[in-house]
């Protein structure tokens, strides 16, 4: 086993660990370890909410999830000799849940998927699903099943949702400026258009005192993907993947977190995929002057691994850029994908699953999302591919009545309105 450069104790919250990571992007967060090009090493990761989500039949924890805390990132790791303009080469050698542990922390034999309430982050389909919902998944080897979504089981594509290098001061300034300008266009929007720097719940490695306060007030939130990679939530970044990251600071300062047991394309529930803590093994190298050499200046590129589930039968559902109210939009690809997801949800409900169960399934299972047409005015076309082998029943259309499943206890729901009534 490679040497573990970031070990974690499952019984302790992230800020109380012997080595503390971070949950903001900033070039002045000190590296916790220096590695050499060509090194192989292991990193432990907490799940993104650091143990706030529980293995139970309530969605109150999803409703009240403290977004200021995310993501719990392991690192940064300084790569000796890496300079701005280089490309950092990151090979994922292995990745999995917390090994040989069972317990209350996501990754100890289980994980979860959550639909976020509109008043607390929202989701891709937040107008249609404004309340919070949760599904807990049990792991058996590489297979996931859920008491909250019966009738399905699937092989996960285990991957990190978030990896990236530190931004330079210049790049960080660009992020904060452009995102602040977007927020200013509708500052009261729910959910917000973007997340500004937020000192509350900031975790910044070994920084203390005035340096901590300054960085906490400047550090970028980790929720979106950006030029440095970040929270891209690409399910294909699995074992065997090679990623090439732009380097913006001396040493690159590479960090990782947000492990998923599985995920559908788009992570459409927001608390998407199947969230978990676990481990990941890396090999790193550096391509000198690689950014200019290959034209990789503001994006990461990758070569996916070869451990994806071997599903061969698919049922695809399409959507176009027309709103639910019938309004035509011009080549709106996001709307087209929303409509494809809603059509897939409607389709699955004919077999007995609730809309919420179907939505959680699309976020967790290894569905394929594709933009099938983006040039034929006025309609963009998107498609959602469902692997038919993950279902216990035959979901293909036929001459007879659709088979029905027992939806079981259903997906736990929680809303701010219900909370107020309960009080």
Residue 120 and residue 265 in one domain: yes
Residue 44 and residue 179 in one domain: yes
Question: To the nearest whole number, what is the mean pLDDT of the chain?
Answer: 96
Q: What is the pLDDT of residue 418?
A: 54
CATH number of the domain where residue 108 is located = 2.60.120.580
Q: What is the pLDDT of residue 417?
A: 76
Q: What is the secondary structure of 138-155 as a DSSP string?
A: EEETTEEEETTSTTB-EE
pTM (2 d.p.): 0.96
- Report the residue count for the chain: 423
Per-residue tens of pLDDT for the chain, all 423 residues: 899 999 999 999 999 999 999 999 999 999 999 999 999 999 999 999 999 999 999 999 999 999 999 999 999 999 999 999 999 999 999 999 999 999 999 999 999 999 999 999 999 999 999 999 999 999 999 999 999 999 999 999 999 999 999 999 999 999 999 999 999 999 999 999 999 999 999 999 999 999 999 999 999 999 999 999 999 999 999 999 999 999 999 999 999 999 999 999 999 999 889 999 999 999 999 999 999 999 999 999 999 998 889 899 999 999 999 999 999 999 999 999 999 999 999 999 999 999 999 999 999 999 999 999 999 999 999 999 999 999 999 999 999 999 999 999 999 999 997 554 444
Residue 340 and residue 250 in one domain: no
Q: Is residue 403 part of a domain?
A: yes
Q: Is residue 33 part of a domain?
A: yes
Answer with the one of 251, 273, 303 that is the final residue of a domain.
Answer: 303
Q: What is the pLDDT of residue 120?
A: 96
DSSP state of 17: S
Answer with the one of 248, 269, 303 that is the final residue of a domain.
Answer: 303
The alpha carbon torsion through 138, 139, 145, 149 (nearest 10 deg) reads 40
Domain that holds residue 344: 314-422
Q: Is residue 309 part of a domain?
A: no
For residue 167, the cross-strand partners are none
Q: What is the pLDDT of residue 422?
A: 44
Answer with the one of 283, 303, 323 that is the final residue of a domain.
Answer: 303
Q: For the chain, how many structural domains are there in total?
A: 2
In whole angstroms, what is the distance from residue 54 CA to residue 63 CA?
12
Which positions ≥6 away from 198 have C-beta within 8 Å? 68, 221
DSSP state of 240: T
Q: Is residue 308 part of a domain?
A: no
Residue 321 and residue 299 in one domain: no
Residue 99 and residue 46 in one domain: yes
Q: How far is CA 369 from CA 101, 266, 351, in A?
A: 33, 7, 22
Q: What is the pLDDT of residue 419?
A: 56
Residue 394 and residue 333 in one domain: yes
In whole angstroms, what is the distance from residue 124 CA to residue 208 CA?
37
Residue 67 and residue 211 in one domain: yes
Could you give the 3-state DSSP secondary structure of residue 394? coil
Q: Is residue 14 part of a domain?
A: yes
Residue 272 and residue 385 in one domain: no
Of the candidates 263, 275, 340, the one whose C-alpha atom is nearest the C-alpha of residue 134 is 275
Burial readout 28-38 (b: 16 or more C-beta within 10 A, e: otherwise)? bbebbeebebe
């Amino acid at each position: 086993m490679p040497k573990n450069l970031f070990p974690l104790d499952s019984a302790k919250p992230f800020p109380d660990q012997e080595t503390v990571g971070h949950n903001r992007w900033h070039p002045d967060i000190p590296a916790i370890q220096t590695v050499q090009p060509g090194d192989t090493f292991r990193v432990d990761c907490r799940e993104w909410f650091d143990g706030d989500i529980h293995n139970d039949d309530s969605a109150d924890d999803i409703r009240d999830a403290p977004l200021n805390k995310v993501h719990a990132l392991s690192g940064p790791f300084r790569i000796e000799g890496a300079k701005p303009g280089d490309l950092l080469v990151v090979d994922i050698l292995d990745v999995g849940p917390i090994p040989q542990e069972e317990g209350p922390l996501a990754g100890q034999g289980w994980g979860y998927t959550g639909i976020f309430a509109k008043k607390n982050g929202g989701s891709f389909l937040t107008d249609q699903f404004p309340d919070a919902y949760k599904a807990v998944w049990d792991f058996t080897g590489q297979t996931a099943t859920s008491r909250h979504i019966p009738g399905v089981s699937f092989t996960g594509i285990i991957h990190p949702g978030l990896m990236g290098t530190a931004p330079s001061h210049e790049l960080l300034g660009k992020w904060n400026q452009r995102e602040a300008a977007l927020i200013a266009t509708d500052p009261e929007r729910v959910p917000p258009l973007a997340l500004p720097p937020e000192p509350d719940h900031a975790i910044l490695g070994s920084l203390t005192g005035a340096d901590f306060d300054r960085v906490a007030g400047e550090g970028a939130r980790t929720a979106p993907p950006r030029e440095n990679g970040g929270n891209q939530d690409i399910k294909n970044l699995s074992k065997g993947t090679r990623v090439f990251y732009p380097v913006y600071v001396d040493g690159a300062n590479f960090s990782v977190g947000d492990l998923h047991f599985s995920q559908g394309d788009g992570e459409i529930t927001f608390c998407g995929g199947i969230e978990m803590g676990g481990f990941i093994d890396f090999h790193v190298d550096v391509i000198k002057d690689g950014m200019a050499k290959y034209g990789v200046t503001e994006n990461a590129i990758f070569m996916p691994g070869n451990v994806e589930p071997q599903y061969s039968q698919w049922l695809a559902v399409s959507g176009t850029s027309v709103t639910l109210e019938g309004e035509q939009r011009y080549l709106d690809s996001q709307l087209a994908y929303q409509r494809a997801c809603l059509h897939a949800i409607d389709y699955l409900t004919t077999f007995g699953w609730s809309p919420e169960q179907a939505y959680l399934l699309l976020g967790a299972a290894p569905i394929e999302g594709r933009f099938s047409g983006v040039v034929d005015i006025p309609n963009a076309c998107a498609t959602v591919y469902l692997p038919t082998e993950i279902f216990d029943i035959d979901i293909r259309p036929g001459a007879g009545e659709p088979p029905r499943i027992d939806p079981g206890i259903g997906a736990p729901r929680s809303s701010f309105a219900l909370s107020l009534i309960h009080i």
